[in-house]
Every structure is written in C-alpha cells, then in structure tokens.
Amino acid sequence: MRDRSKLSERQRGILRFMETYLETQGFPPTIREIGEATGINSTSVVNYNLNKLVDAGFLERASSKSRGIRLVTTTGKSLPKQVVASNNIVRVPLVGQIVASAPVAVPDDVGYYFDEDDLIDVSVWLLGGADPSEVFALRVKGDSMIDAMIGDGDIVIFRKQNYAENGDMVAVWLDERGETTLKRFFHENDRIRLQPEHPTMKPIYVDPAHCHVQGRVLSVIRHIG
C-alpha cells in the first residue's frame, strides 16, 4: 500500500499531473484534462486508472461530481476531519540530512523532481516570498547546531543559493573545519564573520576563499510531541 513503484507509468503520471494541476489551479482536473496531459486518448481509461489509484490508496473520488478527485495524504490516515484544503501551501522536497562533517548535498533539479515521497507541506509564509522551486528542506542530525537554536531532528527550510547578504542565516561549508554549520553571515573587510544565533556564543572568523555558502535558511520546524 502506498508504494508508487508498484504503480504503472501512467498511474504515476496521473498522480504527478494531479499534484501540479492542484498546485497551479487550486482545484482538481477533469478526467479529460488528465487524459490530455498524460497522453490517454479515452476518458474511460482515465477513469479506469483513477479507480486503480483509489484502490491503491492514493486518491479519493466523489462519484458523479465533476472534478471530484482528491489526493490522499501521505500520512496514511484515511481522511482527517477539520482539515483544510487551503491554497497557501507549498510542497517542499526533503532532500536529506545535515551532517556536520559533510557538505550539504543538494541536487541541481531541486523542486522539479517530484517522484519522491519525501515531500513536506509547509505554509507559504515560511518561505518569505522565495520561489518554491528553489526551496528545499533538510533534517538536522546531531546537536552541532545547538548554538543556532537548532536541535537534533529539526527540519530546516532553505533557499538554494551560493551567496549571502549581511545578516543572512546560512548554511556554510568551512574548508578548515571540514564541516557544515548554520550561522549568521557578515562580510567584514577581508574576512567573514559567522555569528552564532545564541547570544552568549562567540563568532568565528573565516577566509572568504574557504567558506562556501550552500543555502539561506528560511525557516526551522521542530516537531516534538
């Protein structure tokens, strides 16, 4: 159940189209629109595959209602009440983990590859206006970021970029230390000051040539309970 790899190529295409259509239109597509988008020439075949997707638990349908198709959440729960289908939600790829001893590995096609199930829904206001296609998320491993008020298991949302403005909170790779860290970024004369978020911690200073910005922090999400 809920394993996309068990689906046919067409069914995966339908799911993909459903997601992007909902993203761009705010309401579900008709079976005809699905057919055109996925190269299916018959409405009955779309209908057939939609029902397959319902059986597989990926969709729900309201029978005899136009556009009566909805995506079932990845949480597995059939359908929670009190749930809102609002359209200020962005689906962000959770591409991996921050490990202090390795640079952040960010695929080039962030935001355009939607086959993974590792997508998290976040409110647009957490993106601060950034283009959702260049946003990605990482899960923090370990307590090395604790001076930035970021702990083990936290999810950090980044905008992918290799530069930074003064005061930006960024993930930087430090050649000298051989690790990635999260700090506030300040360009000072010929060096760069990296200021921890915690007021009692001291800043560190590095050579611009040996520090590589990997992304700017937009938001932090911590789930506890």
Closest CA to 222 of 152, 123, 118: 152
Find the shortest distance in angstroms from Cβ 63 to a copy of itself. Answer: 13
Q: Which range in 7-15, 87-95, 187-195, 205-213 contacts a copy of itself by CB under 8 A?
A: 87-95
> Which CB sits closer to a copy of itself, 22 or 104?
22
How many alpha carbons fall within 13 Å on the CB side of residue 147?
14
CA dist 106 → 44, 102, 171 (Å): 41, 12, 12
- Residues 202 and 119: their CA atoms lie apart, in Å, by 36
Find the shortest distance in angstroms from Cβ 60 to a copy of itself. Answer: 8
Is 144 an annotated catalytic residue? yes
Find the shortest distance in angstroms from Cβ 113 to DNA. Answer: 23
Query: Which of these is catalytic: 5, 65, 77, 144?
Result: 144
In DSSP terms, 69 is beta-bridged to 61
The site map against a copy of itself for 154-183 (x = CB under 8 A) is -----x--------xx--------------
Q: For binding to DNA (CB under 7 A), which residues are involved?
A: 8, 10, 30-33, 40-45, 47-49, 52, 61, 63-68
> Which CB sits closer to DNA, 8 or 74?
8
Find the shortest distance in angstroms from Cβ 22 to DNA. Answer: 14
Applying CB under 8 A, does 69 fall inside the site for a copy of itself?
A: yes
**Residue 10, binding choice from a copy of itself, DNA, none, Cβ under 5 to 8 Å by partner class:** DNA
- Residues 42 and 207: their CA atoms lie apart, in Å, by 62
Helix (H) or strand (E) holding 59: strand 59-61
Long-range pairs for 45-54 at CB < 8 Å and ≥24 separation? 46/14, 49/8, 49/10, 49/11, 49/14, 50/14, 52/7, 52/8, 52/11, 53/7, 53/11, 53/14, 53/15
CA dist 83 → 78, 105, 139 (Å): 12, 34, 26
Applying CB under 8 A, does 86 fall inside the site for a copy of itself?
A: yes
Is 52 an annotated catalytic residue? no
Residues that bind a copy of itself in the complex, under the rule CB under 8 A: 19, 22-28, 30, 60, 62, 66-71, 73-75, 79-91, 111, 120-128, 130-133, 143, 146, 149-151, 159, 168-169, 197-199, 216-225
Active site residues: 144, 183
